[in-house]
Structure 1
Amino acid sequence: MRKSLMTLLLALFAAAAGNAQERPDGAGKPVPERQLVRLSKITVDPACLAEYNACLREEIEASLRLEPGVIALYAVAGNERPNEVTILEIYAGQAAYKSHIATPHFRKYKEGTLDMVQSLELLDVVPLHPGTLRQTLPR
């Protein structure tokens, strides 16, 4: 399970690298926009897990459907502790992230799950080898 999760995460990082947007830097050279890649580690009240998962699913589906700057949102739960949720989040950049957290669907999720979440840790990460996979996952 751990090996397949790592393979999936690497594939998502590779997909993100392939979707990097470029913009001119004034000298005519393309400069890749720095993506925001984050792991959100969430502990959910076990009594609220089904309701939380429904809210999370709705938010992720809306984000991927409506926001071009949201490259990936992929949630997983622990085998032994299903109330420990980790979300891999990949955004086109800081502006895409700021736009995302201002959307009605994200605010609905955040406000609707406040009492369900026991802890939240946001960990910004950097893909170490984003170009090492040959295949990417469809969005």
Structure 2
Amino acid sequence: MKISNHFYRTTVRALLKVLGCCGILLLSILHAKAQTDKRMIRIAQIEVDSTQLKEYNAALKEQMQTAVRLEPGVLTYYAVADKKDPSRITILEIYADSAAYLKHIATPHFKKYKATVEHMVKKLELVDVNLIGSAKQPGL
């Protein structure tokens, strides 16, 4: 069976296109990984005076919403309360990089939050972490 020049050229071109697309995809993945590696991810574990929990939660929500709205380097905030002890709060914070975090803690809204809650917080532990994986439903 003889393969025509046209078929051969068409097949080679198609193969080169596929390899080119694979190369672009690989570069995109490597670029995304490099971007992820720059992110600063922190978990804040906070114990709040239970008699001031409502006021603390309001100040926290205001600070988080303001930061995400005004600061492009503040990527994500998740704050959760322990179901058995709502005064134990855990916050997941994700910043574009450590420079974005440093900029964040110098903002007026963050300083206002810190001044407002300083007498409400009984304990604060900050833990810097590395992302090892993530999964979410599409569209979330």
User: Fold conserved (TM > 0.5)?
Assistant: yes
The CA deviation at 1:135 is 2.8
Larger radius of gyration: 2
| Aligned residue type for 2:50 | P
1:34 to 27, 33, 38: 38
1:59 corresponds in structure 2 to: 63
Say if 1:79 and 1:65 are closer, same or farther in 2 by CA, change over 3 A.
same
**TM-score, scaled to structure 2:** 0.72
2:101 equivalent among 78, 94, 97? 97
Seen in structure 2, the aligned counterparts of structure 1 residues 69 and 136 have a Cα distance that, compared at 3 Å, is farther
Report Cα offsets for 1:24-71 as digits up to 9, x if no partner: xxxxxx953610001000000001100000100110110010000000
List runs of 5+ in structure 2 lacking aligned partners.
1-30
Structure with the bigger percentage of helix:
2
Counterpart amino acid of 1:114? E
| Residue in structure 2 matching 1:124, options 121, 125, 128 | 128
Q: For residue 53 of structure 2, what is the aligned residue in structure 1?
A: 49
Local SS of the residue matching 1:89: strand
Distance 1:108 1:40 in 2: 18
With a CA cutoff of 8 Å and minimum separation of 6, indicate the structure with the bigger relative contact order.
Answer: 1
Is residue 76 from structure 1 mapped to residue 80 from structure 2 by the alignment? yes
Give SS of 2:91's match.
strand
Is 1:135 aligned with 2:110?
Answer: no
Distance 1:134 1:85 in 2: 25
* CA-atom RMSD in angstroms: 1.7
TM-score (norm 1): 0.72
Runs of 4+ in 1 over 6 A off after TM superposition: none
Q: Which runs of 5+ in 1 are unaligned?
A: 1-21, 23-29
Give the aligned residue type for 1:103: T
1:81 alignment partner, SS class: coil
In structure 2, give the amino acid aligned to 1:98. L
> What is the aligned residue count?
108
Amino acid at match of 1:100: H
